[in-house]
């Protein structure tokens, strides 16, 4: 699952159902230091982390991609029913039904693939998701990251993060969990990358991880509504990862309102977010969010 801390591993098992179909199981804790519950609801980004861990697990055990290979997302989509995210009296047992497709092989090892997932909780369907990613051998990854140095070296040289926006602006209680820094322009922030964060960086990396960018989407949505007192839950996202985001150059988060879908008009807010580094769009996301207090 590419996690150093056992306490951050959500997956509990897997089984192969067919040539390219699997079931994977996970358990969500009733509380988490970073994916914090709001109004008695599990954080939807726990689903995203579960998708990340499940795709990583199945890539390695289901398709024998070697553990030393680097897995890189290019696309992530999910939609969930927030009412099913309510926290119970015990941890939530999650089941993912996974179908893999669009698999391209090199010497019997997948180099790109897609996974479609349907999530259930206690037999109740509550989310669908899709992810596409590539697997790079150490040699290929070294060529892709030419001139960047070894992972541990790049990680050690990451600059100190800038001062964050206020806690109330993004609905966060701890400074270390804030991933946006202020600018003088409305709808624009500098991405705040704190490599000492125990969850987002529980091991050395040479680029900004995808989960930090998903958190930036959520926080940008909060920051677009100054004075908001209740949490926003991202009930759907459609995300493209276009380039690696580096530590040594500022990355700018641009956000603006987006139209909601017909089914959610009046009950959800929507946002588009773009991450720009060195003049290039490195990441783009559209998301719909629900007010946690009304679920």
| Domain limit, last residue, from 119, 144, 169 | 144
- Is residue 20, in this structure, part of any structural domain at all? yes
Sequence-distant (6+) residues with CB within 8 A of 100 are: 20, 21, 22, 58, 62, 63, 113, 114, 115, 116
Please state which of the ranges 64-68, 152-156, 184-188, 290-294 shows the lowest mean pLDDT: 290-294
CATH of the domain at 171: 3.10.129.10
- Is residue 98, in this structure, part of any structural domain at all? yes
What is the per-residue pLDDT for 262? 52
* pLDDT, tens only, 30-86: 999 999 999 999 999 999 999 999 999 999 999 999 999 999 999 999 999 999 999
* pLDDT, tens only, 189-215: 999 999 999 999 999 999 999 999 999
Domain count, the chain: 2
User: 19: burial class by Cβ within 10 Å (0-12, 13-18, 19+)?
Assistant: exposed
Distance CA 98, CA 270 (A): 28
The proportion of the chain whose per-residue pLDDT surpasses 70, expressed as a percent, equals 97
Average pLDDT over residues 99-117: 97
291 pLDDT above the threshold of 60:
yes
* pLDDT, tens only, 133-162: 999 999 999 999 988 889 999 999 999 999
For residue 210, the SS3 value is: helix
- Is residue 57, in this structure, part of any structural domain at all? yes
Residues 114 and 1 placed together within one structural domain of the fold: yes
Residues 99 and 10 placed together within one structural domain of the fold: yes
Distance CA 249, CA 16 (A): 43
Residues 261 and 295 placed together within one structural domain of the fold: yes
Residues 29 and 69 placed together within one structural domain of the fold: yes
What is the residue-wise DSSP string for 236-295?
A: EEEEEE-SPPPSSS-EEEEEEE-PPPGGGTTTEEEEEEEEEETTEEEEEEEEEEEEGGG-
The domain in which residue 167 lies consists of 154-295
| Domain limit, last residue, from 144, 171, 202 | 144
- Is residue 149, in this structure, part of any structural domain at all? no
* pLDDT, tens only, 219-276: 999 999 988 888 899 999 999 999 999 999 999 999 999 987 655 555 689 999 999 9
| Domain limit, last residue, from 111, 144, 177 | 144
Residues 232 and 274 placed together within one structural domain of the fold: yes
């Amino acid at each position: 699952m590419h996690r150093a801390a056992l306490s951050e591993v959500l997956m509990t098992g897997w089984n192969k159902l067919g040539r390219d179909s699997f079931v994977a199981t996970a358990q969500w804790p009733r509380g988490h230091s970073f994916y914090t519950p709001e109004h008695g609801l599990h954080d939807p980004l726990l689903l995203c982390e579960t998708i990340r861990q499940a795709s990583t697990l199945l890539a390695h055990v289901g398709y024998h991609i070697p553990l030393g290979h680097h897995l890189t997302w290019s696309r992530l989509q999910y939609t969930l029913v927030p009412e099913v995210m309510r926290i119970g009296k015990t941890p939530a047992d999650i089941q993912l039904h996974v179908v893999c497709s669009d698999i391209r092989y090199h010497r019997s090892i997948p180099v790109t693939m897609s996974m479609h997932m349907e999530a259930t909780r206690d037999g109740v369907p509550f989310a669908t998701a899709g992810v596409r990613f590539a697997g790079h051998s150490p040699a290929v990854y070294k060529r892709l990251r030419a001139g960047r140095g070894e992972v541990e070296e790049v990680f050690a040289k990451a600059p100190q993060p800038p001062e964050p926006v206020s806690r109330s602006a993004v609905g966060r209680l701890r400074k270390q969990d804030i991933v946006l820094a202020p600018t003088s322009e409305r709808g624009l922030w500098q991405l705040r990358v704190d490599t000492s964060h125990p969850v987002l960086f529980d091991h050395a990396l040479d680029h900004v991880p995808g989960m930090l960018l998903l958190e930036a989407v959520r926080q940008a949505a909060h920051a677009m509504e100054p004075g908001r007192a209740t949490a926003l839950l991202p009930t759907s996202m459609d995300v493209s990862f276009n380039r690696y985001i580096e530590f040594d150059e500022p990355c700018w988060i641009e956000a603006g309102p987006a139209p909601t879908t017909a089914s959610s008009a009046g009950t959800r807010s929507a946002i588009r977010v773009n991450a720009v580094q060195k003049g290039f769009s490195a990441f783009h996301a559209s998301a719909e969010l629900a007010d946690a207090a009304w679920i």
